[in-house]
Amino acid sequence: MGLFNKLEPIAVARKALEEFGVDPFNVVIEDIISPTEALIMGRRTLLVGTNNYLGLTFDPECIEAAREATLLQGTGTTGSRMANGTFDSHRALEGELADFYNCSNAIVFSTGFVANLGMISTLTGPGDTILLDSDSHASIYDGCRMSGAAMIRFRHNNTGDLDKRLGRLGERAKESLIIVEGIYSMLGDRAPLKEIVEIKNRYGAWLMVDEAHSLGVLGKKGRGLVEEADVEKDVDFIIGTFSKSLGTIGGFCVSNHSELDLVRYASRSYVFTASPSPATIASVRVALKAVAARPELRTKLWENANQLYEGIRKMGFTVGPEPSPVVAVYMPSREETLVCWKALLDQGVYVNLVLPPAAPQGKSLLRCSVSAAHSSTQIEGVLKAFASLPRG
């Protein structure tokens, strides 16, 4: 085994899954039918574990824009933003992102993951301090580690803990970066952003908000938690992704700090990776317009979110802390999570299986996520499947 020895625990865990009959982490979408349905193991299956919040993956205007861009500009840029990979359309999208957020500057990265890696590791280094929420996404943790800065985790959504830990830093608090998410990807709860901004301003610290799961989902115009909490002027950096509400792939950072542009020259994950394809950029530009111009998508998304959250909660399951398009259902044990996940799939309902360490606090979850494209009849179908699950 040699180098692979360290993967032995994974081999053991995978074998146990094989004995169980299906590997939840190797599900293959045999055919994708719509934003909400796919063929899985030969069966028509309802998708309730995507991040397709606005259901735009099959939007005719997005598809047409992507098709046209491919015909005109080819399938890929074959280069990094720093070399031959910045087309007019990448720059145009950056302008549109800045306008959308009423910010002066924007940078497009190849994914949300590398946006976090690149931004965090470029802004901070040895000698700096980062305070991050303990439930932060892997890309935030990895960006912090890459930076070499001191990492201080504060308890999830606990502003008292953040305040205390910043207080201990004395003068260094002014040079520290606080990182939180708009909606947390696993439990679906929002950060208490107004209170976090008050703390940030009191200490003179810097604040980054990752709106991966809240862009298009929160705020009248879809600008996320910063818009909903009315703190847009107080946030230094907003990180986002094109891979959820915008239905493609890519990432970005927007900011009112004009120095943001310097990050392009220093961020290895901007300089040393190929830029998003013309089709991706063209599709995102149309989807971004839809976020502001089609608020009815948000209305439908929240109707679905409330229907699913309340329906599952009323059955007696323990769900995440607040209604949200991400509906986390706590399971009593790893085994029961697997059994219930498989029982749902057998009834034609796909949700995400989340086991430790991916789930916070060592918990096991069935993570459901809804889309504006779900009909209320489809949500009723999901509730029926949950109602039939074996219970402890």
Ligand X SMILES: Cc1ncc(COP(=O)(O)O)c(C=O)c1O
Question: Which amino acids are annotated catalytic?
Answer: 185, 213, 244
- Give me the least distance between CB of 152 and ligand X, in Å please: 19
DSSP assignment letter at 360: G
Tell me: does residue 275 bind ligand X (CB under 6 A): no
Q: How far apart are CA 204 and CA 68, in angstroms?
A: 47
Q: How far apart are CA 221 and CA 293, in angstroms?
A: 8
Tell me: does residue 185 bind ligand X (CB under 6 A): yes
Tell me: does residue 139 bind ligand X (CB under 6 A): yes
From candidates 135, 181, 189, 227, binder to ligand X by CB under 6 A: 181
* Residue whose entry in the numeric block shows the structure tokens 């219970």: 391
- Give me the least distance between CB of 243 and ligand X, in Å please: 4
85/143 with CB nearer ligand X: 143
From candidates 45, 52, 111, 147, binder to ligand X by CB under 6 A: 111
- The phi, psi pair for 237, rounded to 5°, reads -140, 130
Three-class SS of residue 369? strand
Tell me: does residue 210 bind ligand X (CB under 6 A): yes
* Residue whose entry in the numeric block shows the structure tokens 């830093």: 169
Side-by-side strand order, sheet with 150-154: 105-109, 251-255, 237-241, 206-210, 176-181, 129-133, 150-154
Residues 241-270 contacting ligand X, CB under 6 A: 241, 243, 251
203/252 with CB nearer ligand X: 252
Three-class SS of residue 331? strand
Q: How many residues does the chain have?
A: 392
3-state secondary structure 99-149: HHCCCCEEEEECCHHHHHHHHHHHHCCCCCEEEEECCCCHHHHHHHHHHCC
- Give me the least distance between CB of 204 and ligand X, in Å please: 26
From candidates 101, 113, 154, 270, binder to ligand X by CB under 6 A: 113
Tell me: does residue 224 bind ligand X (CB under 6 A): no
300/367 with CB nearer ligand X: 367
Structure tokens at 136: 């932060």
Tell me: does residue 212 bind ligand X (CB under 6 A): yes
Q: How far apart are CA 185 and CA 180, in angstroms?
A: 12
Q: How far is CA 15 from each of CA 336, 345, 366, rounded to the nearest angstrom?
A: 17, 20, 21
121/307 with CB nearer ligand X: 121
Query: Which part of the chain contacts ligand X (CB under 6 A), choosing from 3-11, 30-38, 210-218, 293-301?
Result: 210-218
Tell me: does residue 190 bind ligand X (CB under 6 A): no
218 touches 228 (CB < 8 A): yes
Tell me: does residue 189 bind ligand X (CB under 6 A): no
Residues that bind ligand X (rule: CB under 6 A) add up to a total of: 14
Judged by the rule CB under 6 A, the positions of this chain that interact with ligand X are 111-113, 116, 137, 139, 181, 185, 210, 212-213, 241, 243, 251
